[in-house]
Amino acid sequence: MDMKNIINIRIAFALMLSLAMVGCKKSSSNESRATGWTINDKNGGFQYNTDFKEQETSPGLVFVEGGTFTMGKVQDDPMHDWNNTPSQLHVQSFYMDETEVTNKMYLEYLDYIKRVYPPEDPNYRLIYNSALPDTLVWRNRLGYSEVMTENYLRHPGYGEYPVVGVSWIQAVEFAKWRTDRVNELYLEEAGYLKKDARLTDVSGEANFNTDTYINSPSSTYGGNADVLEGGRKRQQTDAEGNPINIYAKKESGVISPEYRLPSEAEWEYAALGLSELRNYNTIRGRKKYPWSGQYTRSGKRKSRGDQLANFKQGKGDYGGIAGWSDDGADITNAVKSYAPNDFGIYDMAGNVAEWVADVYRPIVDDEFNDFNYYRGNVYTKNAINEDGTVKVVTTQDMTYDTLSNGQVVPRNLPGEILQVPITREDSYLRTNFDVSDNRNFRDGDKRSSRYYSDNFDEDETGTRQMYNSPNHKVETDSTGAIVRTYDKSNDRTSLINDNVRVYKGGSWKDRAYWLDPAQRRYFPQDMATDYIGFRCAMSRVGSKSKRNNKSRQ
């Protein structure tokens, strides 16, 4: 081959390589693959956080990678409850509180409520009262427990102990408050809010709510421009001097998902632990406790014989012999007193049992759904004003609910967006849901009730209920006094209704039988005890795993 042909071949090869490189041009993360336009252009246009890597772990939480597991006990059932038939389910990745919510954490909540909604103001008196735990839960007709009644919540000696006397409703309100406080701090740190506004500029009518900020940011803090325009983002301007990134949107990645109560499936999955889930027997449901092994005592040389949780050893034995205590506690114990499970979560057995989000039913309906199972969905939507804006609740708009025990609680707080149920028009031709309240779906309606008859009671919506539970009534007379009427009917056959919630895990008052993560019990959502506490969870957005997911070839 002569030199001329070699040169031509090289030229052709170089041209082909150049064309290939042009065809494989790597687009910038700020260049739209849909339009080729520049994202985050300084002159305006679509703004998006293209540098987002993954969700940050919010305060107090640990990461729980989701997966499949068998929910429901398959071993001992001496109680013969028949309420935990094994079900193969899958849960998405989520975050769980490292410990139960402690007295100190709850006191921080009460302090905030008292400062922002001072109880001496008649407009706010019921807000603070509705948040207070019931300290009288410690009393026993034949036991002396006034030391706990008077000291357990507030004394520093119990600061790191799990809070009790909190109803399911109160636990949900705490989670909502926690969501707002964390996001308020995130937005301040990101430069969207004036520094320390959360401490110096809040009041009952001027406070921060996450949903309000997302849907109507200018209404946050009562529309106080000093707070909303006092962040660093307001000080940044584009080429024409206009402020940029005035408000953080969901696309910014700054706003965290909500804190909430874990679902029953999430709680049970988290209690089982990580490495043990890779064991075949554990995946199939043959795991008795949150730790390895079939016993409540440690088998490790360093701690051999020590109890791995705080529970009732036997009749009259809540903590062992004086001077050599079996579990180091007689009532509750400080969080982190016992080793965590393989997820790094403490006290998933013993100490206090814990509220979860689900409405209780004896059967987990995995035939209808086996992904992120949860019973309790009540779908709502934002109330809209005549001008098309969302309706933000003011002090004058507040409404109250009277619970079955006579306690009066606010249905909404100033600064929140008013929520209303969805209607049939909203769900027209939908296949995935058709009503607002789905708590008794496939359970209490005519099409799913095997024994439907005219003997079943109707609830306030006219739906006949499958479970014939007592219907105590609390009403207000013409003078404003509360009148409590007890249901003394002899025809009641169950305590199950749409207002009883599941609680999981054994407590300091329970025998070892209840330490099994699959055990299930229920309690009215507006009542409290000295052995039920709670912890919060948060959904994971984005990837299932925190490990780097390389593309598969």
169-196 pLDDT, tens digit each: 999 999 999 999 999 999 999 999 999 9
Q: What confidence score (pLDDT) does residue 488 get?
A: 80
Contacts of 235 (CB under 8 A, 6+ apart): 243
Kindly compute the dihedral angle of the four CA atoms of residues 171, 177, 179, 184, in this order, to the nearest 10 degrees: -170
Is the pLDDT at 261 greater than 70, yes or no?
Answer: yes
Strand boundaries in 50-115, DSSP class E:
61-64, 67-71, 87-91, 94-97
Q: pLDDT tens digits, residue range 232-252? A: 877 777 777 777 778 999 999
Do strands 532-533 and 353-359 pair parallel, antiparallel, or not at all (unpaired)?
Answer: parallel
Could you give the CA distance from residue 192 to residue 208 in angstroms, rounded to a whole number?
13
Q: What is the mean pLDDT of the chain?
A: 86
Q: pLDDT tens digits, residue range 457-482? A: 554 444 445 677 888 878 777 777 77
Q: Is 106 helix (H, G, I), strand (E, B) or coil?
A: helix
Asked if residue 250 lies in contact with residue 261, where contact means CB atoms within 8 angstroms, the answer is no
Could you give the CA distance from residue 449 to residue 368 in angstroms, rounded to a whole number?
15
Least confident of 3-17, 352-366, 528-542: 3-17
- Pairwise pLDDT comparison (202 vs 1), residue with the higher score: 202
Confidence grade of residue 496 (pLDDT, cut at 50, 70, 90): confident
Could you give the CA distance from residue 377 to residue 359 in angstroms, rounded to a whole number?
9
Amino acid at residue number 169: I
Average pLDDT over residues 16-39: 70
Q: What confidence score (pLDDT) does residue 452 get?
A: 47
Least confident of 68-82, 300-314, 388-402: 68-82
Amino acid at residue number 428: Y
Q: Which of 33, 30, 29 is nearest to 45 (CA)?
A: 30
Contacts of 217 (CB under 8 A, 6+ apart): 228, 247
Q: Is the pTM of this model over 0.85?
A: yes
Residue 416's φ and ψ, nearest 5 degrees, are: -85, 160
Angle at 357 between CA 485 and CA 180, to 5 degrees: 105
